[in-house]
Structure 1
Amino acid sequence: MSDRPSAPVPPRLQEWEQRTEVPLFLAALVFLTGYAVRVLAPHDEGTVRDLALALVCATWLLFAVDYGVRLRLSGLGRHFVRAHWLDTVVLVLPLLRPLRIVQVYTAVQKRRERPRLSLYARVMAYASLTAVLLGVSAALAVYHQEHDAPGASIRTFGDSVWWACATLTTVGYGDAVPVTPLGRLIAALLMACGLALLGAVTGSFSSWLVQVFAREGEQRPPGSAP
């Protein structure tokens, strides 16, 4: 899920990314925590909600500063936005920052000689962690939009979590559905992410099974590639 251009990455930009990816991922978790408190705290808890909003704004400012620094170090100028479209989307919609988990892991692995996990284990770990973080983010965002909307079927955060699980797994029971335009947009994005993650995990697991069968000298499953 890389958004790197084909040109080599400037050394200063590469060094900056290796140093900041993990701290910024932790900042993303802080952002998600602050957003959760802001959304779920009772309305009479004004001080708590204000502190959560300040935390959200402060962490988003870190993301904006990081984006500006990388734009400058890349030397791409206005072409940076197109070449690094995922970074641009994540800056505008910080709740999608879990999509950068692959780049976080890559930055960590560059400090070591070899990955600690196999390719198949890495794919499933990426997909699992991304699914959890995206599911929580989507549940919070949809609950924020839906819980007091007229005719809404998502009234509690528990309803929203149930909806997020059904949507990510592409089950779609239909007992809880967004009714607001923004809620439906979030649902569409989560459906797309759910299909991509499910495909990645299924493909990786199938490939691993085929490899195991081949190694043990057993006949491959029908329809598998030679």
Structure 2
Amino acid sequence: MDDDSPLSRWDRRIGLPLGIASLVFLGAYAVHVLLPGLPTAAHVFFLALMYTAWALFAVDYAVRWRLSGEGPGFVRRHWLDTLVLVLPLMRPLRVVRTYESIQHRRGHPRLALHARVAAYSALSIALLGFSGALAVYQAERSAPDANIRTFGDSLWWTCSTLSTVGYGDYVPVTTRGRFIAVGLMACGLGLLGTVTGSFSSWMLQRFSLSEDVPGPPEH
């Protein structure tokens, strides 16, 4: 039976608008960072879009907290929502929750568990990587001793950081850039561990099924 609590009804009502707001935030942030030569009025417009999206996240967080009835425990139990609210880098990940709600139409997921884990992880890595590359590029491009000077450099550095390879050819030199690097490394370890664990579980499941299949009768 579907959960018809006030919190569940709110989640169903606000899920798609928040997903759209996440994409709007990411798009506005990308334009703001990648096109610095735009007129001041254009940058003000894109910043306004970003702050409007953040305001929608804040309203959702406050309503969910109120409807949950959990008090301060809401912050601990819904840590991803807290990170999305506090850290701009994490806001595009709200799209993953929207994707999850779409997968659960009619009360059950449309994809198998392993496929859902792979899809959520791939979407999270793509969104986190792109937003992280934007943030590092914005922090590093004007630093005197920085070697991350182009967005391409930032994308390459982000890919090597998320994959935990860390070639060392590009490194952030600013305090902000290093904080972002720590966050990306932690997220990269978590996401790669999730994908690896899911793939291993799937392989074990397939081998187990193949062993359970009876062979042809002997004559």
Instruction: Look up the SS of the partner of 1:217 in the other structure.
Output: helix
Q: Give the AA of the match of 2:122.
A: S
Is the Cα contact below 8 Å between 2:22 and 2:94 reproduced in 1? no
Gaps of 5+ in 2: 213-219
Does residue 15 in structure 1 map to residue 5 in structure 2? no
Relative to total residues, which structure has the larger helix share, 1 or 2? Answer: 2
Instruction: Look up the SS of the partner of 1:153 in the other structure.
Output: coil
User: Identity across aligned pairs (percent)?
Assistant: 59
- Would the alpha carbon gap of residues 186 and 130 (structure 1) be closer, same or farther in structure 2, given more than 3 Å must change? same
Compute the TM-score of the two structures, normalised by the length of structure 2.
0.88
Is the Cα contact below 8 Å between 2:163 and 2:188 reproduced in 1? yes
> Distance between the aligned counterparts of 1:198 and 1:15, measured in 2?
33
1:1-226 mapped onto 2 (5 Å cutoff): 11-100=5-94, 103-217=97-211
- Kindly report the root-mean-square deviation, in angstroms, between the aligned alpha carbons of the 2 structures: 2.0
Compute the TM-score of the two structures, normalised by the length of structure 1.
0.85
- Would the alpha carbon gap of residues 31 and 102 (structure 1) be closer, same or farther in structure 2, given more than 3 Å must change? closer
* Cα shift at 1:43: 3.4
* Cα shift at 1:106: 4.0
> Distance between the aligned counterparts of 1:217 and 1:85, measured in 2?
41
Is the Cα contact below 8 Å between 1:120 and 1:208 reproduced in 2? yes
- For 1:163-183, what per-residue CA distance to the aligned partner results, in whole angstroms no more than 9, with x for missing partners? 111111111111111111111
Instruction: Look up the SS of the partner of 1:112 in the other structure.
Output: helix
Gaps of 5+ in 1: 1-8, 219-226
4+ long deviations beyond 6 Å: none
Is the Cα contact below 8 Å between 1:124 and 1:201 reproduced in 2? yes
Number of residue pairs the alignment of both structures matches: 210
Q: Give the AA of the match of 2:33.
A: V
* Cα shift at 1:87: 1.5
Between 151-160 and 65-74, the greater mean CA deviation after superposition: 65-74
> Distance between the aligned counterparts of 2:190 and 2:92, measured in 1?
14
Q: Give the AA of the match of 2:44.
A: D
